[in-house]
A = this chain, B = another copy of it.
Amino acid sequence: MNNSQQKILAHVQRNILLSDKEATEFLSILSEVKLRKKQQLIQPDQEVSSEYYVVKGCLKAYYVDINGDSHIIQFAIEDWWISDFEAFFIDKPARLFVEAIEDSVLLALNKSSLETLYKRIPKFERFFRIKTTNAFVSLRKRILSSLQKNSKERYIEFCRDYPTMEKRIPNYQIANYLGIKPETLSRIRKELA
């Protein structure tokens, strides 16, 4: 068993317990994907047949609107999952880009394999229910934060919640994620320093 496989097994077994056989079956449907910095994993209009577990590296999911402006919806680092989830779950063409911010190693989990897995080992319904629940709660927090806080407070919160990301991701991309301009973030950082 290689390193990536050990990592995702540990990740899954924080929420459900697997027999050796089940673990093996789960690992058998995963495939490793490597990306260099700036390489794209998903592009608009593509079919999104997988979601991806991040073994190593850092990625972003972003939407490019009709004016050509980008909007970063999610970052993902080690132990996070990333995809165009809407496209993946609802079976429609991608609307997002997913792109590596650093050289990255991922494990791809294919949708039809996942459906089969649900049938064979229903525990995985539980695992992904719990994962999705946590993600849902995080998004609620983010919405509340955007309703309640100004730019400076949101930046401080981001640094507190994701200290690792704050160190690895360029400021202009953090600004974009927070919905502010790089100039504004620069001024906020100056104030805080």
Contacts and interface: CB of A to CB of B under 8 A. Distances in A.
Interface string A113-141: 00000100010011011001111110111
Contact of A65 (B71, B122, B139, B148): B148
Interface residues of A, number: 31
Contacts of A125: 122, 125-126, 129
A143 B85 CA distance: 14
Contacts of A122: 122, 125-126
A73 interface: yes
Nearest to A136: B136
A71 B73 CA distance: 22
Q: A-side binding surface: helix, strand, loop or mixed?
A: helix
A141 B86 contact: yes
A94 to B, nearest CB: 13
Integer count of this chain's copies in the complex: 2
A142 interface: yes
Contacts of A15: none
A63 B148 contact: yes
Contacts of A118: 126
16 contacts: A63-B148, A69-B148, A71-B147, A73-B144, A85-B136, A85-B137, A85-B140, A86-B137, A86-B140, A89-B133, A89-B134, A122-B125, A125-B129, A132-B136, A136-B136, A147-B179
